[in-house]
Amino acid sequence: MSIVGLALNVLCGCFAGPLALPFSIVGLVMANTESTAIAAGRRDPAGDGNARAAYVIGIIGLVIGALVLMLWIFVFGVGIWGALGSSTNS
């Protein structure tokens, strides 16, 4: 899931950033659950590297997705503010 979130951010750029956030969050939760199970001895320790990699990729995807979401909010906010400002000046 983390890889899907990061891939959406990288391949689709600003268009899919907010859509990638749920995938990154789910990937983080899954990686954390797996790491906890490995530490408790319920899972094979050989998967610890993959769980850590998924966690790191999830964080990267989450940060990129959050930045793109903030960009969207800024761009749409400026657009709405400009539209409201131009309609009151006429």
The string of pLDDT tens digits covering residues 14-73 is 677 677 888 889 999 999 999 999 999 999 999 999 999 999 998 988 888 888 888 888
Higher-pLDDT residue of 29, 7: 29
Q: What is this structure's pTM?
A: 0.78
Question: Are the C-beta atoms of 61 and 30 separated by less than 8 Å?
Answer: no
Please tell me the total count of domains within the chain: 1
- Quick one: pLDDT at residue 29? 95
Structural domain that includes position 44? 2-89
- For the chain, the C-alpha Rg in angstroms (whole number) is 19
- Quick one: pLDDT at residue 88? 61
- How far does Cα 5 stand from its chain's mean position? 6
**Residue 45 has which token pair?**
């320790």
Per-residue pLDDT averaged across 73-87, rounded?
82
What is the Cβ-side half-sphere exposure of residue 58, based on CA atoms within 13 angstroms?
Answer: 19
